[in-house]
Amino acid sequence: MSFVNTLKQWDESVACFERGDTVRALETFLDIQEKNSKIFFNIGCIHLVNNNLDAAEKAFDGSIGKDEHLAVAFFQRGLTFYKKQRFEESFADFQNAFRELRGNQLIDYKPLGLRYKLYACEVLHNMALVHAQQGLWERAQQNLVSALNLKTEPKLSLIDRALECILKQKLFDPVEVPNKIMFKPNKNYVAELEKKDYLGKAKVVSSIVDKDEFSGFAPLQPQIEDVPDTPKVPEVLRALEGEPHTVLFEFVPETSDELAVVPGNIVFVLHKGSDSWASVIFNERRGLVPYNYLERLEITLSSKQNMDKDDVPAAPRQDPPNRPQRKSAFIPEKNKETEIKDSIDTSHCVVKVHFKYTIAISMVPGLPYINTLKQISNKLGLPATAITLSYAQKDSSKIEIDEDTRMEDVWNCVRNGRLTLWCEMKQGMSEQSQIHLVALHSYASSNPEDLEFNQGDTILLLSKVNEDWFEGECNQKVGIFPASFVEEAQMKEN
């Protein structure tokens, strides 16, 4: 079987599995003649979902046989042995999985097509559970203590709960790979499977022959009368409206408005908003992508006509940005002419709050004042007692919102699923609740969402995006910047 056929069946199987048709997915996977380690892994995962443990064990044997360094395959086979109560073999596989982590705290399998992170502390968690099943409580405790030292995220609190169980000599549930994930084929390869007809099927526009449908080559025919002065624009050129850009980095959409693209794609920018998001068209689909993921591509009219659909775009010349992605709460503005029409969820609306910077929150219309204030204060990272909210009815000035306000009047201002509010700090609260930072080094960046500053500048901390990046305000500009470039300023006491 050729690689192309294997790729087609692999992609079809994953699609069936995601639709919930596990029977068809398994049949298609098993029909692949040349199975690689990832395909064997997927087969084993389906058997685990169906609780067919013997078949799952055999499939994971095949996966490890093809790739003896695939830690997640050892982890899954260890779970299979655990469910079969073959604890010694289960512990050995968990040990192999831990060894293949090679001292790392985790392995992220997303680049290989599996949306899963295998954490070293979770492997030790399962090793402790196997020891507990064997009555080796002290060894189990030692494994969990080691797991605590490797815990990287607060969500891994299951380690603490497991340690409490061990101290009480009680069993706990194992960590398992989610049922709905499996290795997917490389999306770039899959995209090349479908041959695209950019010109479309030819059709007869005009002919002296009645009901003529011939679209091949024919001898010259007499010219028709009343030929228009301006020839019709070819469909291939109409499809290329907008400014051509090359995609530099992979973008995974998080909302229905956004569009998935990968490095090397050529998209056509219809509109660039002031918020650094661009409305683009790609493969006859429209959507939003970050504009700093794109690079302008100069294409003349003649080059558009002579563009070869088999040309492979050059690889991007830059390194991908090592920065946090904006989540769906930052909703880009859209031009009316290029707005993407989609269905409006009437059970929620987008509340846009203008503060020192603008945020957007999805909220249920009709919430009481206390709940509305709490959600907004949590989003801003400020105490609810430190801020005041206000709204504006049509053709009127801003009205402050408090406990005596009729919230029906506020929510009646929702238009097209959106509500605009304003937020201000209460007097005497700003200095108590705000944190100021001082720049240790100058920071300059070409990315529009970054905050530039010079060494010694004072920066107002607005939020902590993650451990490495903060959001702040400096010189009346708002943006994100590396946390290592600043330190907290020592405020003078009065």
Contact by Cβ (8 Å): 282, 262:
no
Same domain, residue pair 419 and 440: no
Query: Could you report the per-residue pLDDT of 130-147, keeping only the tens digit for each?
Result: 999 999 999 999 988 888
Assess whether pLDDT exceeds 80 at residue 209. Answer: no
Contact by Cβ (8 Å): 360, 352:
yes
Contact by Cβ (8 Å): 337, 286:
no
| Amino acid identity, position 271 | H
Of the candidates 113, 133, 120, the residue with the CA atom closest to the CA atom of residue 182: 113
Mean pLDDT of 284-307: 69
> What CATH number corresponds to the domain at position 252?
2.30.30.40
Q: Which of 255-269, 341-355, 371-385, 418-432 has the lowest mean pLDDT?
A: 341-355
Q: CA–CA distance from 225 to each of 207, 211, 383 (Å)?
A: 11, 18, 77
Share of the chain above pLDDT 90, in %: 18
Of the candidates 475, 476, 471, the residue with the CA atom closest to the CA atom of residue 450: 471
Residue 445 domain flag: yes
* Average of per-residue pLDDT values in the chain: 77
Mean pLDDT of 371-392: 85
Residue 193 domain flag: no
As for how many domains the chain has, the answer is 4
Report the pLDDT value the prediction gives residue 433, as an integer from 0 to 100. 56
- How far apart are alpha carbons 262 and 191 in whole angstroms? 10
Contact by Cβ (8 Å): 125, 175:
yes
Report the pLDDT value the prediction gives residue 60, as an integer from 0 to 100. 93
Same domain, residue pair 297 and 366: no
Query: Could you report the per-residue pLDDT of 227-260, keeping only the tens digit for each?
Result: 555 554 444 444 456 788 888 887 888 777 888 8
Mean pLDDT of 191-210: 57
Mean pLDDT of 292-299: 77
At 90, list the tokens: 């289960």
- Domain coverage including residue 458: 435-488
> What CATH number corresponds to the domain at position 426?
3.10.20.90
Same domain, residue pair 421 and 465: no
Mean pLDDT of 94-101: 92
The residue ranking higher by pLDDT, 329 or 353, is: 353
Report the pLDDT value the prediction gives residue 326, as an integer from 0 to 100. 47
Q: Last residue of some domain: 132, 167, 202?
A: 167
Report the pLDDT value the prediction gives residue 241, as an integer from 0 to 100. 63
Same domain, residue pair 289 and 358: no
Task: Name the pTM for this structure.
Answer: 0.42
Assess whether pLDDT exceeds 60 at residue 426. Answer: yes
Q: CA–CA distance from 386 to each of 160, 244, 370, 409 (Å)?
A: 35, 47, 14, 23
Same domain, residue pair 37 and 119: yes
Assess whether pLDDT exceeds 80 at residue 111. Answer: yes
Same domain, residue pair 49 and 156: yes
